[in-house]
Structure 1
Amino acid sequence: MDASLLTALGLLDCVVFRRLSSAKFEVLYRAGNWLDELLPEIVDTKVFCFAQNSAYLEDFLIDAENLWQANKNGRIESGLWSEQLSTQLVRLEASAVVANKQNYLIVSKLEAKYRQKQQTLQIARELLLSSDKISAQHDYLHSRLEELLSQPNRTLTAQQPIAQALTQTDLAVAILDADLHLLNSNPALRTLFDDTNIKIGLPPDKLLLELFRTQYPECERIFSTASSWTGEIYWLNPPQQGKWLKLSIHPIKNDEQRVQNWLFSVSDVTQVKYLLKRNEKLTHFDALTNLPNRQYFWQQLESKIQQNRPFYLLYIDIKQFKRINELHGHVVGDEVIKDLSKRLNAITHVDDMIARIGGTEFAVIMQLNHLHTHISSQDQNQCIKFAEELIRVSCLPFYLSSGLKCEVGLNVGATAFPADTNSAEELMKYADLAVYSAKKKAVSSIEFYSKELIDASRKRIDMENSLRSAVENQEFELFLQPMLDLASGKIIKAEALIRWHHPNGYLVPPDEFIPLAEQTGLIIPIGKWVVTEACAILKRLAEKGEEIKLSINLSPRQVNDRQLFEFIKESVTKAQVNPHHLELELTEGVLIDNYDKVYYLLDEVRKLGMSVSIDDFGTGYSSLSYLQKLPIDRLKIDRSFINEINENSQDSDGAIILAVIAMAHSLKLEVIAEGVETVLQRDFLKLNNCNIAQGYLFSRPVPYDEFCDLLEGQKNKN
């Protein structure tokens, strides 16, 4: 065999065999002393049989034999492996080849390739460590400045702690007002753009905004919906090489949940990018997941558009991923993302492309199997099935190396080329709008871009503005639903349920506006209004001589509010009511997701004398350890279990209720049943020692005056 050809192919330090049969091989070319020790059977012979001196090579020959038996031109490789010889450690790679009906085996010594692979892995490790450090800096700065900026009656320019936070951080920081006008910045922001001789025509804050707007189609949505965002932007400043900047944008909101400031934090990651460029693979591929990165994805998206073949663009966002980072840290978060990327990649079709385009975001170009410009219902069904499969694999539990178990979900937004648009920028913008709409749903789902989606988005903005006005104008009222002691039949408690008196004259039920309030953060001021009003009602009841306990609901967003306990304490003190007459209701989900914060809150309120009830008990959480660990007083059985008790029910239908009652009583907890609508249900609960019940059988939620009438009627009966 011509050695010059092998040299040109970079295969000089190798051995080349021709396969004569399943057992026999012929030596065509050999070089290097390492071969004699690794394969002594080829010494002084041309035709031989392998003597099984290398377990790695024997394993590869099994796969190679399948290729050779197929007798079709092709090539497979073993990947790198190491062999410890008496004088040296060698890095080898084997290739099986079929060419012109001839079968070949090549074993190459690839020290340079091994060193390149190790260098690539080291670069990736350095990159991930650097990224984790930078992310931690941004997160800490955001948390610290949000705490300072959210303080009431603060003067931005004069407050010393803010000035100290700005000067002490290595990050470049800009604090803007609600209209994106600069209020304050630190020296690091100015030096970020002043360390070259190039004169820029914009102030640093305006330059950052301009770069963000031009490079990210989702910019408009970020500011209009007051969302947080983190990503990388590129500043080209010829004749310099330009800078890569990691930019984090966070809204800072006041007590009414209106944006009062925007916080920009910036770090120069140019060195990291140049580190990537030392290896072509890391230039275009994400170091953590090994998937194509955002830059490479954009190139492929524009290339697909040039081919003018129809496809769907799917924008994928990991659902509630921030909770994993907060509970377990970035290392566990990275492990989940890496595992998830493997699952998603495994079910992506051969002609499709998947990429990681952000910290928790992926994108898929899903090719359609026709050349028509229109998108049919069959195409959309195909896209839905694919998205559902992506969601299915993402919802399976993640079992981590530390022994932890995590669960996530996916929000998927989809837009179609060329039906929706033929612009790469608009495709990304539309898919981003669609995934933002999907985020509003409690469960993982897919949302398609449509004109109706834009209309719904506008209606949502109108609804949000109306809700803000409702907070400012106090357009709410608390209705009270009686809770009865089943043994005596007397009203002993009431649940406070909010209603919204819309200016157009109709009553808006809570299930229509509470989810929006939760998403926008308006639940914080609304929740404070509920606490204040509940205390006022308790005072009025006490003045009437009514010793009634009032129960109010706390949402997940409220529990995360650092000022919640102090506000409740101040409200009780100001209204001069007995704290024993106030009860807090939390759902199981809040307990699981915010365990540490919940424990602190419940422990403090119970020290004041308040009681605690767990709402919607039994609706999906399997861990019951919190019942023993958390300071709680009552369980409220979800109405879905009560509904099962009817004329057609079997004895087993009440088994869950009986189990809950028995378990609660063994833990010295009282049991409340909600949604009681029939005498049969009441009698079943009473017979089985359920303590308290509420539902339409007794009364719907009613205004304060009507509730007082119910109490008065109860007295008259006695």
Structure 2
Amino acid sequence: MYSPRFAAMILIFFATLICFVIALLLLILHKKSYMIEHDNITGLPAYRHFETDAKKLLKNAIPNEYMVLSLNADNFRIINDTYGILCGNEILKLLGHHFKSQCGKNEFVCRFYADNFVFLMKNMEFFWDIEERVYNMTNVDNIVKKYLPPKYQFTFSASIYRIENPLDDIESMIDKANLAQKLYKNRFATHRVIEYTSELKDSHNWNREITLSMEEAFENKEFEVFYQPKFKFEDETVIGAEALIRWNNPRKGFLSPARFIPLFEDNGFIEKIDKFVLNRVCLFLEEWNKTPESKSQPLTISFNLSRYNLYNPNLISDLKQISRSYDIGDNKIEVELTERIMIDNPSRLIKIMSEIKKAGFSVSVDDFGAGYSSLNLLKNMPADVIKLDKEFLSSQEENKNQKERIIITSVIEMAKKLNITTVAEGVETKDQCEMLKTSGCDIAQGFYYAKPMQEKLFKEFLGMKEKQSV
């Protein structure tokens, strides 16, 4: 039998042990709770904790009182790949501490994922005040400099969503801010803040609708080629046309290329559209070649080739395969390349232009004078035609009109010396017509002469013009 004193000691020992175990369990639970509620790298509140605090705050907020700010570190993957994950984590930790210090009363921040930090902040009436605050918040070069090369500029992409309905889902608010950044990340200078707006939402919904319906629309033959006639200035006879794609949407009617071509260039669908247009042009010229009128009136039809296609290694063989499937006789096909392609890769463009010409096509430079070409580049380009940018004809002011006339005349004279045909597009008035004719321009295209028209109407138009000239 144990003595009462020994029994008491054993009781005290076990009681102490139990207390120690309980304390240890509480410590573990507290640490686990902290880890659940806080980001393990930055120490900032985890998203769920951020969400709870945001909901409490916004419960009594008014519309547009607060905003969501999303910051993404630019090129952070390169930093991780170059210096390692541990270095990247140390930078994230420093950023977390810095961003927490930038939050005022009733403002929160969390690391939403990877290098994306999200803030709930007080809204500001003027956008430039938001830009200034974001610029100051993201000026972190001195904070992270010990981990990065000298003079490295650590930058962010920033976007906001002004909270119109404070009772909305928090994650949907963040998604809106991030969506604005995703859509326009490459279109703004660093430190420029991108705002989610109703216009951006409409644009995104439209792009999504187009993306989901374009293949079905193609199968349903909703795409149609229109033709805008081109005229010789000297006698106003029709010498051809430009083929223009239109989308005959069952619900929205005919859509202009500006509504869908930029998206098609982004998602690659433009390749199918360009081939479709070329096929339609070849078929039209084959049918025209069978008419009596074609003997005295050979046509040149131009079509636009997207810059997306310039990186297609099979471009030339595709063009030749399509054109050789038709008998177009003495008629010609002209490939239009926009002058803006020059800025991408001028040497590649010149090489491709030469290959297109060798394949039997004429080559035209569209929007000439829009801002990227140079006289030296034009000297090296194997172009047959240049189309003067219609902005040259836009001015209504007398002094600008004189400058335009001088520029246009100089370009036309230069083109003639280089044996290049000139086309003026966007001709809408008699005064423009007379000025271009006096300046020696070869070909006119514009509403003053004829609007783009469906193929059937263009055939009737050609027949009508032929009968008038007989």
Q: TM-score, normalized by length of structure 1?
A: 0.46
How many angstroms apart in 2 are the aligned matches of 1:667 and 1:593? 24
- Cα deviation for residue 460 of structure 1 reads 2.6
SS of 1:487's partner is coil
Instruction: Tell me the equivalent position of 1:705.
Output: 456
- Alignment of 1:273 with 2:71, yes or no, is no
Q: Is the counterpart of residue 617 in structure 1 residue 428 in structure 2?
A: no
Q: CA deviation at 1:550?
A: 0.5
Deviations 1:189-232 (A, max 9, x none): xxxxxxxxxxxxxxxxxxxxxxxxx99xxxxxxxxxxxxx9975
Contact 2:423 2:441 in 1 (8 A): yes
Residues 464-518 of structure 1: CA distance to partner in whole angstroms, max 9, x if unpaired? 2122322333311111001111112111020001111112261111111112212
> Does the CA contact (< 8 Å) of 1:413 and 1:436 recur in 2?
no
Counterpart for residue 629 of structure 1: 380
C-alpha distance 365-440 of structure 1, shift in aligned 2 (>3 A): closer
Output the amino acid matched with 1:273.
G
Taking the aligned partners of 1:389 and 1:607, their CA distance within structure 2 comes to: 57
CA distance in structure 1 between the partners assigned to 2:188 and 2:290 by the alignment? 42
Instruction: Quote the residue 1:69 is aligned against.
Output: none
Output one character per residue of 1:587-617: Cα deviation in whole Å (capped at 9) or x when no partner: 1111231324323321111012211111111
Q: Does 1:487 align with 2:238?
A: no
**Whole-Å Cα distance in 1 between the matches of residues 183 and 312 of structure 2?**
25
Once the two structures are TM-superposed, the CA of residue 447 in structure 1 deviates from its matched residue by 2.6
Q: Which amino acid aligns with 2:84?
A: K
Matched, 1:433 2:179: yes
Residue of structure 2 in register with 1:458 after alignment: 205
Rounded Cα–Cα distance in structure 2 between residues aligned with 1:245 and 1:389: 25
CA 1:283–1:463: 2 relative to 1, 3 Å: closer
**C-alpha distance in 1, partners of 2:92/2:219?**
42
Cα gap change, 1:571 to 1:684, in 2 (>3 Å): same
CA separation in 2, counterparts of 1:674 and 1:711? 19
Pick from 531, 543, 568: which aligns with 2:319? 568
Counterpart contact for 2:342–2:373, Cα < 8 Å: no
What is the Cα deviation at residue 433 of structure 1?
Answer: 1.3
- Secondary structure of 1:654's match? helix
Q: Deviations over 1:408-450 (max 9, x none)?
A: xx97533469998999988875443111232586999743135
More helix by share: 2
Q: Give secondary structure in 1 for the equivalent of 2:450.
A: coil
Post-superposition shift, 1:573? Answer: 1.0
Measure, in 1, the Cα distance between the counterparts of 2:108 and 2:380: 52
| Cα separation, partners in 2 of 1:608 and 1:447, compared to 1, 3 Å | same
| Shift of residue 571, structure 1, vs aligned partner | 0.3
Task: Output aligned runs, 1:67-216, within 5 Å.
Answer: none
For 1:689, the aligned partner's letter is G
Mapped to 1, the partners of 2:134 and 2:320 lie a distance apart of 47
Q: Give me the CA root mean square deviation.
A: 4.3
- Report what 2:150 is aligned to: none
1:598 pairs, out of 349, 366, 377, with 349
Please report how far the alpha carbon of residue 376 of structure 1 lies from its aligned counterpart in structure 2 after TM superposition: 3.2
Shift of 1:564: 2.1
Note the alpha carbon deviations across 1:3-57, whole angstroms, 9 max, x for none. xxxxxxxxxxxxxxxxxxxxxxxxxxxxxxxxxxxxxxxxxxxxxxxxxxxxxxx
Does residue 535 of structure 1 match 2:286? Answer: no
Contact 1:677 1:695 in 2 (8 A): yes
Q: What CA distance in whole angstroms lies between the structure 2 residues aligned with 1:690 and 1:386?
A: 54
* Structure 1 Cα separation of the partners of residues 386 and 133 of structure 2: 41
* Cα distance in structure 2, aligned partners of 1:622 and 1:387: 37
Percent identity over the alignment?
28
1:629 offset after TM fit, Å?
Answer: 1.5
Aligned equivalents of 1:443 and 1:484: distance in 2? 43
Distance verdict in 2 for CA 1:629–1:619, change over 3 Å: same
Query: Structure 2 vs 1, CA of residues 535 and 294 (structure 1 numbering), >3 Å: closer, same or farther?
Result: farther
Work out the CA distance in 1 between the residues paired with 2:104 and 2:252: 55
Indicate if the aligned counterparts of 1:534 and 1:550 stay in contact, CA closer than 8 A. Answer: yes
Change in 2 beyond 3 A, CA 1:592/1:389: farther
Say which of 519, 526, 533 aligns to 2:266: 519
The residue that corresponds to 1:694 in the other structure is: 445
Q: Specify which of 294, 304, 307 is matched with residue 553 of structure 1.
A: 304
Rounded Cα–Cα distance in structure 2 between residues aligned with 1:443 and 1:532: 41
**Letter aligned with residue 268 of structure 2:** G
Is 1:501 aligned with 2:248? Answer: yes
Kindly indicate whether the alpha-carbon contact (under 8 Å) linking 1:599 and 1:630 is maintained by their aligned counterparts in 2.
yes
> Within 2, Cα distance between the matches of 1:297 and 1:426?
24
Q: CA deviation at 1:653?
A: 3.6
Structure 1 pair 469/306, CA: closer, same or farther in 2 (3 Å)? same
Query: Deviations along 1:364-408, whole A, 9 cap, x unmatched?
Result: 999xxxxx9641313x33124678999xxxxxxxxxxxxxxxxxx
**Closer/same/farther in 2, CA of residues 575 and 304 from structure 1, 3 Å limit:** farther
**Which residue matches 2:160?**
414
Preserved CA contact (<8 Å) 2:409 2:440: no
Residue 95 of structure 2 aligns with which residue? 297
Query: What CA deviation, in whole Å up to 9, does each residue of 1:164-212 have, x standing for no partner?
Result: xxxxxxxxxxxxxxxxxxxxxxxxxxxxxxxxxxxxxxxxxxxxxxxxx
1:692–1:679 distance in 2 versus 1, CA, 3 Å: same
CA contact 1:502–1:508 (8 Å) conserved in 2: yes
1:42-53 matches, cutoff 5 A: none
- Give how far 1:644 is off: 3.0
What is the deviation of 1:305? 8.3
Corresponding residue SS for 2:260: helix
Partner of 2:421: 670
Secondary structure in 2 matching 1:698: coil
Other-structure match for 2:395: 644
2:452 counterpart SS class = coil
Q: CA-to-partner distance for each residue in 1:503-539, whole Å, 9 max, x for gaps?
A: 2261111111112212222212111211211111111
| Range 657-666 or range 436-445, more displaced | 436-445
C-alpha contact 1:588 1:615 (8 A) present in aligned 2: yes
Tell me the residue number matched to 1:377.
125
* SS of 2:447 mapped into structure 1: coil
Q: Say if 1:440 and 1:519, in contact at 8 Å, map to a contact too.
A: no
For residues 559 and 385 of structure 1, do their structure 2 counterparts lie closer, same or farther at Cα, with a shift above 3 Å needed? farther
- The structure-2 alpha-carbon separation of the partners of 1:702 and 1:416, relative to structure 1 and needing over 3 Å to count, comes to closer
- Which of the pair is proportionally richer in strand? 1
For structure 2, the residue ranges without an aligned partner over 5 or more in a row are: 1-45, 48-73, 138-155
The structure-2 alpha-carbon separation of the partners of 1:459 and 1:641, relative to structure 1 and needing over 3 Å to count, comes to: closer
Q: For residues 312 and 613 of structure 1, do their structure 2 counterparts lie closer, same or farther at Cα, with a shift above 3 Å needed?
A: farther
Which amino acid in the other structure matches residue 204 of structure 2?
Answer: S
Q: 1:680 offset after TM fit, Å?
A: 1.5
Q: Is the CA contact 1:430–1:449 (under 8 Å) kept in the aligned structure 2? A: yes
2:425, 2:186 → 1: CA distance?
27
What SS class does the counterpart of residue 204 from structure 2 fall into? helix
Aligned length: 374
After TM superposition, the structure 1 stretch with the greater mean CA deviation from structure 2, 455-464 or 635-644, is 455-464
Alignment correspondent of 2:153:
none
C-alpha change, 1:422 and 1:716, in structure 2 (3 Å) is: closer
Alignment partners' CA distance in 2, 1:548 and 1:671: 16
Instruction: Give, in whole Å, the separation in 2 of the partners of 1:673 and 1:389.
Output: 49
Higher relative contact order (CA 8 A, sep 6+): 2
Checking the alignment, whether the CA contact within 8 Å between 1:554 and 1:586 is kept in structure 2 is yes
Distance 1:556 1:665 in 2: 27
